[in-house]
Structure 1
Amino acid sequence: MDLFEDDAPEAGDNAHEFTVSEISGAVKKTIEGEFGHVRVRGEVGRVTVARTGHMYFDLKDDRSVLAAVSWKGQVAKLSHRPEEGMEVIATGRMTTFGPQSRYQLNVEEVVPAGAGALMAMLEKRRQALAAEGLFDAARKRPLPYLPEIIGVVTSPTGAVIRDILHRLRDRFPRKVLVWPVAVQGKSSAAEVAAAIRGFNAMSPGGALPRPDLLIVARGGGSIEDLWGFNEEIVVRAAAESAIPLISAVGHETDTTLIDHASDRRAPTPTAAAEIAVPVRAELQAVLAQFGARLGQCTHAGLDRRAERLRDLSRALPRPEALLMAPAQRLDALETRLPGALRAAIAKKRIELSDHPLRPGLVTRAVERSRDRLEAAAGRLPGAHRAGLAQKRLRLEGLRLNPAALDAALRRERRDFERLAARLRPDLVTTRLERQRERLAALERLRVTLGYEATLARGYAVVRGDGHVVTNLSEAQAATALEIEFRDGRLQVGQGAKPKRATKPVTPPEQGTLL
Structure 2
Amino acid sequence: MPVEAIEADAPQSNVAEYSVSEISGALKRTVEDTFGHVRVRGEVSGYRGPHSSGHAYFALKDERSRLEAVVWRTTFSKLAFKPEEGLEVVVTGKLTTFPGSSKYQIVVEAMQPAGAGALMALLNERKLKLEAEGLFAAERKRPLPFMPRVVGVVTSPTGAVIRDIRHRIADRFPLHVLVWPVRVQGETCGEEVAAAIDGFNAIEPGGPLPRPDVLIVARGGGSLEDLWGFNDEAVVRAAARSAIPLISAVGHETDWTLIDHAADRRAPTPTGAAEMAVPVRADLVAALAALDARASAAVSRTLQAERRAVANLARALPAPDLLLAMPRRRLDEAETALGRALRFYTAERRRALGEIGAHLSPARLESAIRDRRADLRHAEGGLVHGLSSALARHRHRLERLDAALRPHVVSARSDQARQRLAQAGERMDRAFREMAARRRSALAGAWRVAASLDPRQVLERGYAIVRDADNRPITRAEDLAPGTPFELEFARGHRRAAVAVASDAEPARPVPKPARRKPAVATDAQGDLF
TM-score range normalised by the length of the shorter chain: 0.5 to 0.7
Per-residue CA deviations over 1:44-84 (Å, capped at 9, x if unaligned) read 23322366154332211122111223344543333222223
What is the match of residue 86 of structure 1? 87
What is the match of residue 303 of structure 1? 304
Deviation at 1:113, TM superposition (A): 1.0
What is the match of residue 150 of structure 2? 149
1:278, 1:344 → 2: CA distance? 95
Matched, 1:44 2:39: no
What is the match of residue 230 of structure 2? 229
2:169, 2:348 → 1: CA distance? 95
Matched, 1:262 2:228: no
State the one-letter code of the partner of 1:288.
Answer: A
Deviation at 1:34, TM superposition (A): 3.0
Segments of structure 2 that go 5 or more residues without pairing to the other structure are 361-530
1:121, 1:246 → 2: CA distance? 24
2:266, 2:351 → 1: CA distance? 102
1:344, 1:136 → 2: CA distance? 104
Deviation at 1:112, TM superposition (A): 0.6
What is the match of residue 205 of structure 2? 204
TM-score for both structures, normalised by structure 2: 0.60
State the one-letter code of the partner of 2:144.
Answer: L
The 1:308/1:29 distance shift into structure 2, 3 A limit, reads: same
SS at match of 1:165: helix
The 1:86/1:273 distance shift into structure 2, 3 A limit, reads: same
What is the match of residue 126 of structure 2? 125
Per-residue CA deviations over 1:211-238 (Å, capped at 9, x if unaligned) read 1222221122222111111111111222
What is the match of residue 429 of structure 1? none
SS at match of 1:120: helix
Q: Percent identity?
A: 59
1:346, 1:78 → 2: CA distance? 135
State the one-letter code of the partner of 2:35.
Answer: F
1:347, 1:191 → 2: CA distance? 121
Indicate conservation of the 8 Å contact 2:215/2:246, yes or no: yes
Which shows bigger deviation, 320-329 or 301-310? 320-329
TM-score for both structures, normalised by structure 1: 0.61
2:263, 2:96 → 1: CA distance? 45
State the one-letter code of the partner of 2:42.
Answer: G
Query: What aligned pairs does 1:84-483 form with structure 2 within 5 A after superposition?
Result: 84-316=85-317, 319=320, 323=324, 326-327=327-328, 330-331=331-332, 333-335=334-336, 337=338, 339=341, 342=346
Deviation at 1:307, TM superposition (A): 2.9
Deviation at 1:29, TM superposition (A): 3.3
Deviation at 1:94, TM superposition (A): 2.4
SS at match of 1:242: coil
Deviation at 1:2, TM superposition (A): 5.1
1:181, 1:226 → 2: CA distance? 14
Segments of structure 1 that go 5 or more residues without pairing to the other structure are 356-514
The 1:240/1:349 distance shift into structure 2, 3 A limit, reads: farther
Per-residue CA deviations over 1:430-457 (Å, capped at 9, x if unaligned) read xxxxxxxxxxxxxxxxxxxxxxxxxxxx
SS at match of 2:225: coil
2:8, 2:338 → 1: CA distance? 174
State the one-letter code of the partner of 2:81.
Answer: H
What is the match of residue 26 of structure 1? 26
1:121, 1:347 → 2: CA distance? 129
1:295, 1:117 → 2: CA distance? 66
Deviation at 1:315, TM superposition (A): 4.8
Deviation at 1:91, TM superposition (A): 2.1
Deviation at 1:348, TM superposition (A): 11
The 1:182/1:321 distance shift into structure 2, 3 A limit, reads: same
Per-residue CA deviations over 1:366-424 (Å, capped at 9, x if unaligned) read xxxxxxxxxxxxxxxxxxxxxxxxxxxxxxxxxxxxxxxxxxxxxxxxxxxxxxxxxxx
1:292, 1:101 → 2: CA distance? 91
Indicate conservation of the 8 Å contact 2:51/2:57, yes or no: no
SS at match of 2:196: helix
State the one-letter code of the partner of 1:263.
Answer: D
1:8, 1:345 → 2: CA distance? 186
State the one-letter code of the partner of 2:171.
Answer: D
What is the match of residue 35 of structure 2? 35
State the one-letter code of the partner of 1:168.
Answer: I
State the one-letter code of the partner of 2:33.
Answer: G
Deviation at 1:333, TM superposition (A): 4.8
SS at match of 1:77: coil
Per-residue CA deviations over 1:167-203 (Å, capped at 9, x if unaligned) read 2222221221222211111122222222121111112
RMSD: 3.4
Deviation at 1:209, TM superposition (A): 1.0
Matched, 1:60 2:61: yes
Deviation at 1:329, TM superposition (A): 5.0
1:298, 1:125 → 2: CA distance? 61
State the one-letter code of the partner of 1:197.
Answer: D
The 1:251/1:96 distance shift into structure 2, 3 A limit, reads: same
User: May I ask how many residue pairs the two structures share in their alignment?
Assistant: 356
Indicate conservation of the 8 Å contact 2:216/2:247, yes or no: yes
Deviation at 1:322, TM superposition (A): 5.0
Per-residue CA deviations over 1:274-293 (Å, capped at 9, x if unaligned) read 22222222222222222222
Deviation at 1:309, TM superposition (A): 3.6
SS at match of 1:304: helix
1:344, 1:172 → 2: CA distance? 97
The 1:303/1:22 distance shift into structure 2, 3 A limit, reads: same
The 1:160/1:327 distance shift into structure 2, 3 A limit, reads: same
Which shows bigger deviation, 297-306 or 147-156? 297-306
2:185, 2:150 → 1: CA distance? 26
What is the match of residue 77 of structure 1? 78
Deviation at 1:318, TM superposition (A): 5.2
The 1:310/1:88 distance shift into structure 2, 3 A limit, reads: same
2:84, 2:50 → 1: CA distance? 15
SS at match of 1:235: helix
Deviation at 1:24, TM superposition (A): 3.4
Deviation at 1:105, TM superposition (A): 2.1
SS at match of 1:163: helix
SS at match of 2:259: helix
Which shows bigger deviation, 173-182 or 340-349? 340-349
SS at match of 1:170: helix
State the one-letter code of the partner of 2:30.
Answer: T
The 1:65/1:245 distance shift into structure 2, 3 A limit, reads: same
The 1:325/1:224 distance shift into structure 2, 3 A limit, reads: same
1:51, 1:90 → 2: CA distance? 19
1:183, 1:348 → 2: CA distance? 122
SS at match of 1:292: helix
The 1:347/1:234 distance shift into structure 2, 3 A limit, reads: farther
The 1:343/1:65 distance shift into structure 2, 3 A limit, reads: farther
